[in-house]
Amino acid sequence: MTTPWIRPATLDEALAVREEHADWRVLAGGTDLMVDAGRRPAPAGVIDLFGLPGLVGVEPMRDGSLRIGAATTYSMLLASDDVRRHLPLLAAVAREVGAWQIQARGTLGGNVGTCSPVGDTLPALLALDAEVELVSRKGVRLVAFDDFCTGYRTTDLRPGELIAALRFGRRALFASEGARHAWRKVGTRRAQSVSKVMLAAVAVLDDERRITCARLGLGAVRERPVRARAAEDLLVGERADAALAQRASEALTHDIAPIDDVRSTAAYRRDVAARLVRRFVLSLA
């Protein structure tokens, strides 16, 4: 018996299949779902969205935001002038996802759909205030990624919905002259290793180097990717110095809850996360 498999030609067709077959697996590049496909029960059917025209590409919108289709691969992100120019943080992340073979297949929407605590792009989506564009036959729903992610590999995706795109409405602020960003992925090897700790950070400085806006997105330090809000809050309105960096790193304990697992220990993760934040704040001085 072969699995029912549909490669829709249009987004409308995809939404019709999605509504009709709620239990079918939604597949993009396969870099998550194929890893353990042999160890799980076969899905009732597959909706294959890889390369679906309406879901691929980077588009500057009239309202100033940047819209990235869910089935856009990391290789496409890296090749996009718009991403490099307007979302340099995301470009830096894409370059360190897996290696070329994974970048050629893995998609931004797939990373969001799996919503793993170690999803590489997810701290950056938090740091960039990204919104998830969800479509169904009823229409479009926009949800902040921070709210879309609801826990350990769980999301607010509703029946009949597909992840259509990620929207970056604040790219103008985050790519402004006073903006600084940092991406640090700590693992056993530069390429192809699952992270022990990740930090995607953005700060905007005014003319007097006062921090007007701060975002600290962390991965692998909790059951879900998380913003270190307590640390962000104490940065805003301040000028960076060693004391502020220290306080920010200590405030992480309010938002992170690392665990021991096969890849690392809670103590290591806590220590490294604190260092990454401290270094980022020092870089703003």
Partner 1 sequence: MTLRVRLNGRDLLLDVDPQRRLLDVLRDELRLTGSKEGCGEGECGACTVLLDGEPVCSCLVPAGQVDGSEIMTVEGLGDGELLSAVQDALVRFGGTQCGICTPGIAVCATAALRREPDASAERLRELLAGNLCRCTGYQLVIDALCAAARPAAGPSGEGAP
Nearer to partner 1 by C-beta: 37 or 173? 37
> Is 23 near partner 1 (CB under 8 A)?
no
- Which of residues 11, 16, 37, 78 is near partner 1 by CB under 8 A? 37
Nearer to partner 1 by C-beta: 48 or 271? 48
Decide: 94 and 103 in contact? Cβ < 8 Å: yes
> Is 42 near partner 1 (CB under 8 A)?
yes
Nearer to partner 1 by C-beta: 38 or 139? 38
Determine the interface stretch with partner 1 among 9-17, 29-37, 229-237, 246-254 (rule: CB under 8 A): 29-37
Q: Residue 178 corresponds to which tokens in the numbers above? A: 């006073």
Decide: 169 and 86 in contact? Cβ < 8 Å: no
Closest CA to 264 of 182, 197, 218: 197
Nearer to partner 1 by C-beta: 74 or 168? 74
The angle subtended at Cα 21 by Cα 18 and Cα 25, nearest 5°, is 75
Nearer to partner 1 by C-beta: 43 or 117? 43
Kind of pairing, strands 5-6 and 46-48? Answer: parallel
The footprint of partner 1 on residues 166-225 (CB under 8 A) is 190-192
Nearer to partner 1 by C-beta: 38 or 159? 38
> Is 2 near partner 1 (CB under 8 A)?
yes
**Ranges of H-type helices in 178-261:** 229-235, 242-251
**In sequence order, what are the beta bridge partners of 25?**
46
> Is 9 near partner 1 (CB under 8 A)?
no
Instruction: List Cβ neighbours of 3 (8 Å cut-off, separation of 6 or more).
Output: 42, 43, 45, 46
> Is 41 near partner 1 (CB under 8 A)?
no
Determine the interface stretch with partner 1 among 3-11, 119-127, 195-203, 268-276 (rule: CB under 8 A): 3-11
- Please, what is the minimum distance in Å from the beta carbon of residue 87 to partner 1? 21
Return d(Cα 220, Cα 199) in angstroms, integer.
9
Exposure letters 224-257 (e unless 16+ CB within 10 A, then b): bbbbbeebbebbeebebeeebbeebbebbeebbe
Give the distance from CA 131 to its chain's centroid: 10
- Please, what is the minimum distance in Å from the beta carbon of residue 253 to partner 1? 33
Decide: 67 and 165 in contact? Cβ < 8 Å: yes
> Is 98 near partner 1 (CB under 8 A)?
yes
User: Could you list the residues that contact partner 1 (CB under 8 A)?
Assistant: 2-3, 5, 7, 27, 29-31, 34-35, 37-38, 42, 46, 48, 50, 75, 98-102, 104-105, 190-192
